[in-house]
Amino acid sequence: MRTLLAAVALALAPAAVAQPLQTGAALPLASQSFATADGQTLTLGGAAKSAGTMVVFWANRCAWADRNAERLTNLVTTFGDRFGVVVVSSTPLAAAPGEVPVVVDGTGALVRAFGVQRAPQAFVFNASGTLAYTGAFDDSPADAAAARKHYAADALTAVAAGQTPAVATSEAFGCIVRPPAGQ
């Protein structure tokens, strides 16, 4: 009986998760090539624009991602001329919000390197490739109209001006992201 209980407890234990990327960290895997959903390849470092890069982890079939799609599109529209934006998904997306490149992270390498646990989650890197902000788009994941704090937009504005964001980290709220088993 004890063996059965131990086996059940082990099976239900959460998988080891990489530590979340901390502000001040360098853009992970910046020079590694990744396949995109449209059959191209890109590097995260090569996606940067004059002010930096925003990497957003996304999830298919996730109500929280659906609720944040318009917010991502608005960020791309507002900041896409200064920031390269890349969406990362473990499975191909039909189309990414904001019509940005989608890296298909089928092995979970990026999920592990960034320490992502929930999607959507944004990572804003400055022009030097240093993480300036990570977390949610805003303080109201369920209702954009109720948002009072616009963390990602504020971080992008600050970084574009060469400043440190007032809020460097917020808690991402959304669907659980796990790298594929056995990878």
- Each residue of 9-44: pLDDT tens digit? 333 334 445 688 999 999 999 999 999 888 899 999
Give the pLDDT of residue 178. 79
> Is 3.40.30.10 the CATH classification of the domain at 49-176?
yes
Q: How far apart are CA 13 and CA 105, in angstroms?
A: 24
- Answer whether 172's CB lies under 8 Å from 165's CB: no
The answer to whether the predicted template modeling score (pTM) of the entire model surpasses 0.85 is yes
Report CA-CA distances (Å) from 97 to 53, 57, 73, 159, 175: 16, 12, 5, 22, 17
Q: Are strands 33-35 and 41-43 parallel, antiparallel or unpaired?
A: antiparallel
Q: Residue ranges per domain, the chain?
A: 49-176
State the Cα–Cα distance between residues 63 and 134, nearest whole angstrom. 20
The total of other beta-carbon atoms located within 10 Å of residue 63's CB is: 12
How high is the pLDDT of residue 19? 80
The Cα–Cα gap between 124 and 27 comes to 9
